[in-house]
Amino acid sequence: MRRSLSQPVSLTARLAILFATLSAGLLVIAGIFFGRMLETHFQELDVHELQGKLTLIRTALQGDGLPSASSGRMAALENSFVGHDNVGVLLRALDGRVLEVIHPEHFTPEQLSSEQLAPEQLGASHPPQAVSSWEVDGHPHRGLAARITLPQHPTDVGAPDTVDVLVALDLSHHTHFLASVRNATWAGVAIAAFLAALVGWFAAHRGLAPLRRVTATASALSAQQLGQRLNENDAPREVREHVEAFNGMLERLEAAFQRLADYSADIAHELRTPISNLMTQTQVALSRPRLNDEYQDILASNIEEYERIARMVSDMLFLAKAEQNALAQASAPIDLACEADALIDFYEALAEEHHIRIERHGSAVVAGDRLMLRRALSNLLSNALRHTPDGGQITIAIDIAADGAALGLSVSNVGDPIAPDQLERIFDRFHRGSSLRERHGEGAGLGLAITRLIARAHGGEVVASSKAGVTTFTISLPLRQAPSGT
């Protein structure tokens, strides 16, 4: 259960969530910006309307031909706001007396009872006026205050010459509209985010189809279906590199499985012959009573087969350790000329039996493991002896490169040429030419593979060439100084 809960979210879902989040974020920012613009626009409209009302009040109070401020002027003021129920007017003398209130429901009790308008409402403008905001029973209002000078007439005895005016505007219709806009904006954001997530999921699902095909192909793979490949032309450019890498991995796996299958078949083939010989000889020995000399001959023949199996197992173990870098490798100065001469003496009897002449040219000292390099040279020399016809010649050449950084240790022999396709596989395990199988059945085909691993363990390489009836195997080794004291 814990494992299922901790599983990561799919890439498709992540992209869909990302699209929805980005869309919602952009729409929210746009909605906030649009809302602020609306509020600013409505505020400017309100101030403009209040200024118009204030101009109307100033015209009504300062108009010519009115009999007095207490009668004609106030009547003209009231007539000016007939039908304007969303506007309130508060007119007060400088001594605090309330001269007139039109639509008092737009003012707070504190405003109606104050002796004079607050100084911050009037400000420092000329003519003095100021904008303020308040609420009455939950209804927002915006007001504009100003001080107006009244014209004096001979009949205006005791009438004030200056009054403070506060014009109030009910903003309920604006707030209702802004609330509707906000609700519509949030609903639009939610719908747009849902649609963006849906479209994002669909686009990501379509875009990731090549990855699903890779997964399906990988799930269907088995040792018998490694030849299947993905179509690189159907993959988008962003996924094509992954498809190419996946196909390359399949090719390497197919080649590795093929080598493993060939390796298993070669092992079975190489072990079948000695085991079959052992079984046949043992069955013949047990078929009837025999003399001691006959039993000794059979046991001696069995020992040869056992030694052949032991050499094969030892070579296979050496190859396995070499490929895993598990060989204990010493490093000491090695005189290649001395090692080559020692091997020539060792194979001299076999060479004389077939009238084969072995020569060595050149000399050099290299740092490395003496036993391993001697084994590599022995493998090349024994391989040359098996392929050289009677009366032929084998040449061992030791050459130092012109820059003195490397040397070449080559073994050449005359004989049948090796086909180019055989040269490509000649260092594979258990690989042997057909002529070798027919004439010499004692080899297991591991010597050249061991030689290549020994050369690579010393930082070098081995190559083969065959032209004009001469086959040459060359080991290239870097010239490096051996550590002191070894």
Domain boundary among 323, 340, 361: 323
470 and 353 within one domain: yes
Would you give the distance in Å from CA 413 to the centre of its chain? 54
Structural domain contains residue 190: no
For residues 169 and 245, membership in a common domain is answered with no
What CATH number should be reported for the domain holding residue 88?
3.30.450
Helix (H, G, I), strand (E, B) or coil at 73: helix
Question: Are 286 and 362 in a shared domain?
Answer: no
Position 196 in a domain: no
Q: Are residues 255 and 279 in the same domain?
A: yes
- 301 with 368, same domain: the answer is no
Q: Indicate if 304 and 343 belong to the same structural domain.
A: no
In sign, the C-alpha dihedral spanning 157, 158, 161, 165 is negative
**For the chain, how many residues are written?**
486
Other beta carbons less than 10 A from residue 266's beta carbon: 18
What domain range includes position 70? 12-179
Q: How many domains does the chain have?
A: 3
**10's tokens:** 């799919």
Residues 23, 162 within the same domain: yes
The verdict on residue 215 lying in a domain is no
Per-residue pLDDT of the chain in tens (486 residues, 90 and over written 9): 444 455 677 778 888 888 888 888 888 898 889 888 988 888 888 888 888 888 888 877 776 544 444 556 667 677 777 777 888 888 888 777 777 888 888 888 877 776 555 544 444 444 445 778 888 888 888 888 888 877 766 555 556 678 888 888 888 888 888 888 888 888 888 898 888 888 888 888 887 787 777 777 777 777 677 777 777 776 677 777 877 888 888 888 888 887 777 777 777 777 777 788 888 888 888 888 888 888 888 888 888 888 878 877 877 777 777 666 656 567 789 899 999 999 999 999 889 999 999 999 999 999 888 888 888 898 899 889 988 999 999 999 999 888 888 899 999 999 888 888 788 778 876 666 544 433 344 555 677 888 888 888 888 899 999 888 899 999 999 886 544 444
Return the pLDDT at 261: 78
471 falls within a domain? yes
What is d(CA 64, CA 59) in angstroms, rounded to the nearest whole number? 9
**The last residue of a domain, from among 113, 147, 179:** 179
Give me 17's structure tokens.
């969530």
Asked whether residue 206 is domain-assigned, the answer is no
Does 200 fall in a domain? no
pTM of the shown model? 0.49
Q: Which two tokens stand for residue 344?
A: 């020539």
CATH number, residue 362:
3.30.565.10
Of 290, 323, 356, which closes a domain?
323
CB atoms within 10 A of CB 72: 15
Contact criterion met (CB below 8 Å) for 278 and 302:
yes
Distance between CA 2 and CA 335 in Å, rounded?
A: 65
| Residue 63 pLDDT | 64
Residues 19 and 160 in one domain: yes
Q: How many CB atoms lie within 10 A of CB 300?
A: 9
264 residue type, one letter: S
Assess whether 393 and 431 both reside in one domain: yes
Residues 169 and 47: their CA atoms lie apart, in Å, by 9
Residue 191: inside a domain: no
With both helix axes pointing from N to C terminus, report the angle between 11-62 and 172-207 in degrees, rounded to the nearest 10: 160
Is 368 found in the same domain as 241? no
Res 3: pLDDT: 47
User: Is the four-CA dihedral 260, 418, 341, 401 of positive or negative sign?
Assistant: negative
Could you give the CA distance from residue 27 to residue 31 in angstroms, rounded to a whole number?
6
- Residue 344 inside a domain? The answer is yes
H helices of 63-162, in order, are: 74-80, 109-113, 119-122
Closest CA to 409 of 398, 423, 394: 398
Tell me whether residue 56 is exposed, middle or buried, using C-beta atoms within 10 angstroms of its C-beta: 0 to 12, 13 to 18, 19 or more. Answer: middle
For residues 394 and 356, the answer to whether their CB atoms sit within 8 Å is yes
The order of strands in the sheet holding 357-361 is: 357-361, 393-400, 406-414, 470-478, 461-467
Same domain, 95 and 144: yes
Say what the pLDDT of residue 182 is.
87
Clarify whether residues 284 and 386 are in a common domain: no
What's the CA gap between 281 and 13, in Å, rounded? 72
